[in-house]
Structure 1
Amino acid sequence: MKQHGFEGFVSIGNLMTNPYQIPNEQGVYVVLCSHSMQPTFLAKGSGGLFKDKNPNVGIAELEENWIDNTSILYIGKAGGGSNATLLSRLIQYLKFGMGKKIGHWGGRYIWQLANSHDLIICWKATIDNPRDVEERMIAKFKAEHNGRRPFANLKD
């Protein structure tokens, strides 16, 4: 990821206490784990409600979505159709992970991992439309993983 211009590489736990190291620009971000991580799924994660919907899914669905031997768990975007910046969008995501009622439904499977605070987030500011960059990144991932999206990406 570093060779592709990504920066940060900070744990979720660290970002929850100090999010202001994230740039206030549009871009894309990625949630990473160690390449060999064996997940422990939680029946009830730390994710908050959005529109009063329960963010948790069954363990079987999490197991079905898990992909071994990859460090990329989720690819997200900030901007490109909204005024969101990496800072504002990731603050929303982190607050959702702390159980707050926040509008960040995407990537919610992350919060059903027992070690979610240890996962790493990196980001890349871009002048290109972040949605286009996100779509290309997901398409590349799918091409390398038999048509499967990253674990917590529920749409292309």
Structure 2
Amino acid sequence: MNFALDGFGGFVPFSRLPDTDVPAEPGVYVVVRRTETTPIFLPSSPAGWFKGKDPTLPVAELHSAWVPGEPVLYIGKAAAGQSEKRGLRKRLDEYRRHGAGQPVGHWGGRMIWQLADSAELLVGWQTTDDARATEKIMIADFVAMYGKRPFANRTG
């Protein structure tokens, strides 16, 4: 049984985000892997270093975090921010640029970039006024289903 993603749209590769009409509103997003093949983990992350920190995690930690058979790898949120100018479009662009090696502050979910097939991952989204609460509920539901957090959601 897979984690339900009712109401989510998008589901495009990160590389297509600049040409996709991603909503500017707040919301939640997911990163999914459409294959159930055993993942291959890269020993070094291609993601951007941020504030001098290497985004690479030990391969053993990646193996232990893996949830076999579940396509959802990460659940994230995009709040409006104090300026009300943030939201899904801005947050997902930061995530994409971080994975492309730029020094961008999107540390959460960085584990996906150590997947050898990260270029094939899809990102989907759903708008919601309370992104923080929705993300917490989704992660709690995932933990209830699998006994652990999604692969790339490492902190509580």
User: TM-score, normalised on structure 1?
Assistant: 0.91
Name structure 2 gaps, 5 residues minimum. Answer: none
Name structure 1 gaps, 5 residues minimum. Answer: none
RMSD: 1.7
Contact kept in structure 2, 1:80 and 1:131, CA below 8 Å: no
Contact kept in structure 2, 1:26 and 1:85, CA below 8 Å: yes
Partner SS, residue 76 of structure 2: strand
Partner SS, residue 4 of structure 1: coil
Q: 1:75 to 1:24 in 2, by over 3 A?
A: same
* Residue 138 of structure 1: aligned partner: 139
User: TM-score, normalised on structure 2?
Assistant: 0.91
Contact kept in structure 2, 1:41 and 1:62, CA below 8 Å: yes
Identity %: 43
Contact kept in structure 2, 1:11 and 1:121, CA below 8 Å: yes
* Residue 109 of structure 1: aligned partner: 111
Distance 2:30 2:116 in 1: 18
Per the TM alignment, residue 34 of structure 1 is displaced from its structure 2 partner at its CA by 1.9
Q: 1:80 to 1:142 in 2, by over 3 A?
A: farther
Q: 1:37 to 1:22 in 2, by over 3 A?
A: farther
Distance 1:35 1:140 in 2: 22
* Residue 8 of structure 1: aligned partner: 10
Alignment of 1:1-156 (within 5 A): 4-15=6-17, 17-18=18-19, 20-34=20-34, 36-79=36-79, 82=82, 83=84, 84-127=86-129, 129-146=130-147, 148-156=148-156
Q: Deviations over 1:68-103 (max 9, x none)?
A: 010110000000655421000000000000000101
Contact kept in structure 2, 1:28 and 1:133, CA below 8 Å: yes
Per the TM alignment, residue 12 of structure 1 is displaced from its structure 2 partner at its CA by 2.0
Distance 1:37 1:73 in 2: 14
Distance 2:143 2:4 in 1: 20
